[in-house]
Amino acid sequence: MISDLVIIGGGASGFMGAITAISNGLRSVVILEGTPKVLEKVRISGGGRCNLTNSCWDISDLVNNYPRGDKQLLGLFNRFSTAEAFDWFQNKGLDLKIEKDGRVFPRSDSSEDVIKCLTDVAKRSGVKVFTNSHVKKIIIKKEGFNLLVKGNNSFEAKNILICTGGHPSGRRLAKSLGHSIIQPVPSLFSLSTPENLLRSCSGVTLDVQIKLTVNKKKYTESGSILITHKGFSGPVILRISAFSARNLHANKYQGELRINWLCMTEYEVRSKLDLYKLENGKKVVLNNKPFKDLPRSLWRALLLNLNIDSQLKWADLSKYQKDSMVKCLIMKSFLINSRGPFGEEFVSAGGVSLKEINFKTMESKICESLFFAGEVLDIDGITGGFNFQHCWTSAWVAANAISAKQKKLTRL
């Protein structure tokens, strides 16, 4: 029997595509998952809580969270965005909550409830799911496709939707059907430095402004940074690593990170130092700081690096020492010599070339009736639920296009 739609990949995109397609009237929808379990990335996402989208409702702001694919997503999000995804899950019986930073989680804080929601709805809708069904080859036929599956099984399909995420199998299948692949590189990772200056500050978190220079190209971001025993992590580092992912990879993760620890201008810092010196001349510099939001351990580490005497009083601070202090507080540079652990459940930059996709339907421009959704494409977002949102959206658009196409053919 030939299926209206066979979906390769039982992840977020796969289930959204299957449920949407069959709810729009497709009679036979099949999911083929190569591993023993479906939705494994959903299971481990957010430390087992599953950050399934973000409450960034403004689409023009939303697309700024995607280093690659922002232009294409602008049109897609106008059809199915974060608000629609939020309502979709709520309407399916999954109670959601929005945290202070905008991330959306199931109220139960359990990714298992997201999995149960998707698998239950798919089962009730009549979606057929086959695990341990790795697709080895796709053969184009006159009226669709023949999919050869591990174990000498085969499936026939009128349409195919590839939703294999970052797994190389989907890229391999796309390439075999004529698609160009942008070689994936890591995205969303911490940065390591060989400098020992901040080892005593490991675990400290604060808001900063940073500028990363990689082979003369500059990237700037503001946000929360985490000092680690090897370097830097936290939301602002993950974001800048995503936007600079390709250049960092090409430059073997070598660069310079300049940090403004205070998020203040030079004039503001100088004025504050001058006033503090005037009012606290008898106090020891190392133990007394003018900036209340700057952690004491970081203040001491920065000043000790400047060889500030442990007994120096504010009244005795020289102009040269003050100038050095200003520079250290708002433009301290660190050599970056490698990336740290690859985080956020292995998000990568790369995949099927966007030039070869019709983003009104998610259909291939090269192979008719072949569709793509999710991270198999050269689209990726920063941390915060944005990668899942792209999965929900692209799969929803693809499934609607496939359903509309099949209804048109049926009428003919």
- At 411 the pLDDT is 72
Q: In this model, does residue 96 exceed pLDDT 80?
A: yes
Q: In this model, does residue 343 exceed pLDDT 80?
A: no
**β-pairing verdict for 128-130 and 29-32:** parallel
Q: In this model, does residue 121 exceed pLDDT 90?
A: yes
Exposed/middle/buried for 311, CB within 10 Å: 0-12, 13-18, 19+?
Answer: exposed
Predicted confidence (pLDDT) per residue in 170-195, tens digit: 999 999 999 999 999 999 999 999 99
* Residue boundaries of the structural domains of the chain: 2-185+345-411, 189-342
DSSP-assigned letters across all residues of 290-320 = S-TTS-HHHHHHHHHHTT--TT-BGGG--HH
- At 390 the pLDDT is 98
- At 342 the pLDDT is 67
Residue 171: phi and psi, rounded to 5, are: -65, -40
Predicted confidence (pLDDT) per residue in 247-305, tens digit: 999 999 999 999 999 999 999 999 999 999 999 999 999 999 999 999 999 999 999 99
CATH code for the structural domain at 2-185+345-411: 3.50.50.60
Q: pLDDT category, 62, cuts 50, 70, 90? A: very high
**β-pairing verdict for 348-352 and 181-186:** antiparallel
Q: pLDDT category, 143, cuts 50, 70, 90? A: confident
262-to-197, 210, 299, 321 alpha-carbon distances in Å: 18, 11, 11, 18
- At 40 the pLDDT is 95
Predicted confidence (pLDDT) per residue in 317-337, tens digit: 999 999 999 999 999 999 999
Q: In this model, does residue 345 exceed pLDDT 60?
A: no
34-to-39, 122, 136, 300 alpha-carbon distances in Å: 11, 18, 10, 54
Q: pLDDT category, 370, cuts 50, 70, 90? A: very high
- At 338 the pLDDT is 96
* C-beta of residue 16 within 8 angstroms of C-beta of residue 112: no
* C-beta of residue 393 within 8 angstroms of C-beta of residue 66: no
Q: pLDDT category, 241, cuts 50, 70, 90? A: very high
Nearest to 264 by CA among 329, 324, 205, 218: 329
Q: In this model, does residue 341 exceed pLDDT 80?
A: no
- At 412 the pLDDT is 57
Mean pLDDT over 15-23 rounds to 98
Q: In this model, does residue 14 exceed pLDDT 70?
A: yes
Residue 287: phi and psi, rounded to 5, are: -100, -5
Average pLDDT, the chain: 96
Centroid of chain to Cα 315: 49
